[in-house]
Amino acid sequence: MDFLTKFTQNERKRTPKERFANFEHQLNTLFCELAKPVTTEDWVNKDTLSNSIIILMGKEKFGEDNEIFLENAKSDFYDSIKKIEASHLDTSTGLLYIRLFIEDFYINPIS
């Protein structure tokens, strides 16, 4: 079993509350203790990531069903993750928690 499969299975055993707490922690501490300095572009990418997360998390509450708008938010979400990870490899675990949480609860909800 590869790392990603094992990680995903273990993470999905947690309660939604535990997963949200970990997601929030990873998002808040994403740029802490990095090997390379954080640039302005990194902060812009994190801001874009945060904005797309807000859109995806709030879509049900606000009745957002515009497919193009939501696809753009998903695209921004994944693009931001790729850019941050390319710039700072030491963020990959935190980004994995963030990506898995958003995918499981907001992009392709698991039952």
pTM, full prediction? 0.84
Write the pLDDT tens digit of every residue in 15-59.
Answer: 889 989 989 999 999 999 888 899 999 999 999 999 999 888 887
Q: In this structure, what token pair is assigned to residue 76?
A: 């921004």
**Please, what is the average pLDDT of the chain?**
87
Q: Which residue range is the domain that position 34 belongs to? A: 3-107
What's the domain count of the chain? 1
With 0-12 CB in 10 A as exposed, 13-18 as middle and 19+ as buried, what is 101? buried
Backbone angles phi, psi at 63, to 5 degrees: 65, 30
